[in-house]
């Protein structure tokens, strides 16, 4: 007697799972159990049933040329607050996909190749969030994708676009001002960590930036230093450095500061306070931060320091586990970099 191999068993079980939208969850589960418990003759009959169902499926023009994958459970897909699209079985629409408010308290990733509709999903979600008066911040990395929202009648009065690094609709922010309730010593350490991570300084830069901030906060008290003041401090400290190693750290930290203090980019940070990120959460609206005029590393630094500021503000304001707003991070791989994670943890 010829018996099936483990591979053949796995393949038929996978076929049964793919046919769940046709058979239904309960019938598919019973068929799977019967297949596992049955003898060779019984399994042969189940093979015939699966083949017959497959033949019926592939007679449908919307399914014939499609890759069939098991869809999410209907139970978890149709009950929620925000609809983000329709689940397809092949090319056939079967039911909507929705999210709950609680889902937005966790990280959600939207992945796909260029032109697959990632931005369309976000724009559709923005419309629904706006209708529920939930504030939104969008970091538009390079493509100015969200200007299209201005053409949506329901959104045109709720959206504000900032051209970060360009003077069309400028954004001003002093990242050396900590959130209310956060000690300067804590923020100095976190800022140095963000700066080190964004520019791949590998530790030495963090040390020298923290040293600079320690002296500058003391010098300017009760006022606050600016990014340009850090650059000036490093330039003045270079010749006073005790060792060649420390001079190398200073030179390494100076390079990104030259970019941050160059022309229009300098103007972003040349303010005592500017626009505090917390103001984006004070009233409903969509705030788009267009970053296309910045270099890739400067974009990463800007996003990371803004996110760190917002995180500390939420913690100090005791608003954990509450949806106070939604942050959209386009091209997140620039910030959530695997190689940087290996280096920095």
C-alpha to C-alpha distance for 215 and 145, rounded to whole angstroms = 42
Its pTM stands at 0.79
Helix axes 204-220, 227-237, angle to 10 degrees: 110
Which two tokens mark 50? 């699966």
- Domain residue limits, the chain: 6-64, 125-345
The CA distance from 81 to 162, in Å, is: 29
Mean pLDDT (the chain, rounded)? 86
**187 pLDDT tier (thresholds 50, 70, 90):** very high
| CA-to-CA separations, 97 to 195, 325, 330, 339, in angstroms, rounded | 39, 21, 21, 33
Contact 288, 138 (CB under 8 A): yes
DSSP code, position 318: T
Number of Cβ within 10 Å of residue 267's Cβ equals: 15
Burial of 144 (0-12, 13-18, 19+ CB in 10 A): middle
The residue among 160, 104, 189 whose CA lies nearest residue 290 is 160
CA dihedral 248, 252, 253, 257 (to 10 degrees): 130
pLDDT, mean of residues 132-139: 95
Residue 71 or 42, more confident: 42
- Comparing 54-63, 125-134, 158-167, the range with the smallest average pLDDT is 54-63
> Is the backbone peptide bond immediately before 222 cis, with ω within 30 degrees of 0?
yes
Question: Does the pLDDT at position 227 exceed 50?
Answer: yes
In sequence order, the β-bridge partners of residue 99 are 82
Q: What is the pLDDT of residues 61-80, one digit of tens each?
A: 656 566 666 677 777 666 78
Highest mean pLDDT pick, 66-75, 148-157, 242-251: 148-157
Q: What is the pLDDT of residue 63?
A: 61
Flag the least confident range among 72-81, 89-98, 123-132, 195-204. Answer: 72-81
| Range from 52-66, 200-214, 229-243 carrying the lowest mean pLDDT | 52-66
pLDDT of residue 339: 54
């Amino acid at each position: 007697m010829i018996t099936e191999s483990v591979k053949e068993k796995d393949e038929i079980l996978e076929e049964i799972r793919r046919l769940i939208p046709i058979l239904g969850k309960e019938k598919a589960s019973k068929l799977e159990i019967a297949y596992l418990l049955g003898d060779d003759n019984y399994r042969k009959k189940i093979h015939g049933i699966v083949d017959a169902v497959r033949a019926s499926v592939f007679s449908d023009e919307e399914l014939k040329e499609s890759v069939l994958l098991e869809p999410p459970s209907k139970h978890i897909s149709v009950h929620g607050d925000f609809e983000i699209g329709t689940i397809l079985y092949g090319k056939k629409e079967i039911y909507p996909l929705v999210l709950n408010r609680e889902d937005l308290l966790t990280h959600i990733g939207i992945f796909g190749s260029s032109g697959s509709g990632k931005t369309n999903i976000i724009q559709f979600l923005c419309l629904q969030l706006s209708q529920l008066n939930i504030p939104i911040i969008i970091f538009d990395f390079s493509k100015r994708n969200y200007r299209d929202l201005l053409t949506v009648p329901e959104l045109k009065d709720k959206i504000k676009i900032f051209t970060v690094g360009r003077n069309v609709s400028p954004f001003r922010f002093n990242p050396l001002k900590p959130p209310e309730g956060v000690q300067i010593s804590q923020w100095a350490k976190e800022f140095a960590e963000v700066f080190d991570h964004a520019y791949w300084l590998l530790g030495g830069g963090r040390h020298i930036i923290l040293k600079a901030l320690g002296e500058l906060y003391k010098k300017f008290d009760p006022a606050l230093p600016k990014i340009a003041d850090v650059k000036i401090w490093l330039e003045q400290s270079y010749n006073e450095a005790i060792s060649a190693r420390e001079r190398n750290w200073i030179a390494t930290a100076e390079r990104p500061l030259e970019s941050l203090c160059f022309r229009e980019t300098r103007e972003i940070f040349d303010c005592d306070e500017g626009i505090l990120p917390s103001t984006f959460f004070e009233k409903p609206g969509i705030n788009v931060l267009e970053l296309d005029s910045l270099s890739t590393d400067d974009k990463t630094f800007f996003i990371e320091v803004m996110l760190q500021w917002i995180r500390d503000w939420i913690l100090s304001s005791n608003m954990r586990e509450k949806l106070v707003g939604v942050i959209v991070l386009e091209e997140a791989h620039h910030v959530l970099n695997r190689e940087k994670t290996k280096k920095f943890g």
